[in-house]
Structure 1
Amino acid sequence: MSAKASYVVKGEDVSRTCSIELSAGVVVQFYAVLDGHGGARAARFAAEHLPTLIAAHYAQAAGETRSARLQAACKAAFVAVDQQFARLGPYSDGTTATCVIVDNDEVTVANVGDSAAVLYLPDGTAAMLSADHRVARRSPAEHDRIVAAGAQIGRIKGRDGNPIGPERIYPGGLSVSRSLGDSDSTAAAIAEPDVTTVTLPSAGGVIVLASDGVWDFVDGVHVARLTGLSRKPKCGVGWLSRALMRTVNQANMEIDDATLICIELKQPPLGDEVERAALTISAKVRKLLGFHTPNKADKPGKPAASNHTSSTPSVSSDSEPSSGGERSRQGKRSAFARKPPAEKKS
């Protein structure tokens, strides 16, 4: 179950939800938020073609497990989308892309840019599922990759000569080091995504997938509190998406587009069915042994209360997701994108 909400300022955010048939009988759920910059063409193109390309590359992917093949397919599909969009023309449009793919109790997240996906568990804990590719929060390895590609890192200078805004890479003036599109940017802005797969705890959880127009204006503690409240009867992810967007609307003040998808995740029902069957057998055995007044926990369909608390998700990834933090309110592409900075920082 999922619910979407949006706040439109520039009209460059795009979202997509659909089912993907990876192979015969293997169907997964696909959710994506794409935050365009310099125009919406790259975001719209990627939203349309990513699901199809993921399915196509999954058929060719190597891997011992389904999640390994899906991770490989996501990497190939992101690069293919970037290449296909570049062939359409000399567009300067670019976009972030964060995709959440749900396959039973496994969740795979692939992303470029700074639209983020966060998993909130019933016990109140949260796990960042996406990587943060803002230049200002680059890892040492990402810094070395950018410099090795021949890019310059710097900030725009204001009228008073002092640096303003976040660090960017030049040429191009992007504040993110990975994106789709941006054909006029340096080769340092690559399309290869970071990909992570988590195993969902038995208690389930809620994923909030959103563009930075949401995360820039909401506090993580507030999101966790609202997510907890959404588990009450008659609330759910529809209520959660509206509540979060009301918070964004009060703070955003027409600075940026804001798009979010709230996804409710539950374990497949097979576990409950097995548990009920086991309790039924247990009740019959107890009766045969002479226990004619069984405990309430032995009644079919009424399992005893459990003190089990959900564990944090186990993570398998080829990169370590960045932690959350203060997010810049500056656009992905500077107004002086084609002008190199006066100061160079490398």
Structure 2
Amino acid sequence: MQVTPDWLARLPKTELHLHIEGTLEPELMFALARRNGVALPYPSVEAARAAYDFSALQSFLDLYYAGASVLLTEQDFYDLTAAYLLRCRADRVVHTEIFFDPQTHTARGVPYATVLSGIRRALADAQAQFGISSKLILCFLRHLSEQDGFATLREAEPYLDLIDGVGLDSSEVGHPPEKFFRLFARCKALGLPRVAHAGEEGPPEYVWQALDLLDVCRIDHGVRALEDPALVAELIRRQIPLTVCPLSNVKLKVFERLADHNLRALLEAGLVATINSDDPAYFGGYVGENWRACTEALALSRAELTQLAINGFRGSWLSRPEQERWIAEIEAMTA
């Protein structure tokens, strides 16, 4: 059956790999800078957009952390999150699992509670107004020390009822998952589900470490897993989802062109691949655009798109009955 734009737009979707700080559009960045009296290194919105040309992950992160400097108050974090959730509504994202980086903000003197309350309030409003369900994942910055991660976890412990899990993000190369073995063991003891970025710029060995040392239930990115057949077999055996971010991978030069992306190969290998947007304000595409672009560039079939959508719900932290409800709607669309 033909894939039509209307069918793709109506398809229920998840987003399992989204950094809320990475949804900061230049227009909102400048609005918050004016509101908070923050000086930006760009004279205009246009100049900021022109800077969004990255040679690798680190060049993106440099700009990412500069942009985060405008986020100071609870209302700032609410406005940031609410703007993203409007995009979810437009793209038929019915469930999202959002990363946030408290260390990016507490290092600037912004209280942890300020960050958390602003994001949580927006998530609650989206559930009430749009029916968009969500989970919130605290990410540790891997370019910082494990000791810094422990300090962040201690600060978070009074609010663990508002956190659904933990993750590991930021610069991958040179910062293997094993660096955070003790921190993730502590998170496991606290009953927190764990995910980690691995296998984007880093080698398949980093995916092995995330699985075996950090005991994660999901791999964020994971596109380099195909380089290791034994790893592919293990990911399939454990049914570990991969939260793939196609447009991000192209923007950061993991793949030269979207047509070169291995998303279809991941699916054909039997891996639980999903489509996500990563840092869409910086990488030029929210989740709906990732779906549309992949459909065109890779000539994905309706069956492949259906499998990707189902994988998103299977890989989510929704309850099994909630997963089955959405999967039934997806399957009804393809009957």
Instruction: Report which of the two has the higher share of strand.
Output: 1
Name the structure where helix makes up a greater proportion of residues.
2
TM-score, L = length of structure 1: 0.31
Structure with the greater alpha carbon radius of gyration: 1
Q: Which has the higher contact order (CA 8 A, sep 6+)?
A: 1
TM-score (norm 2): 0.31
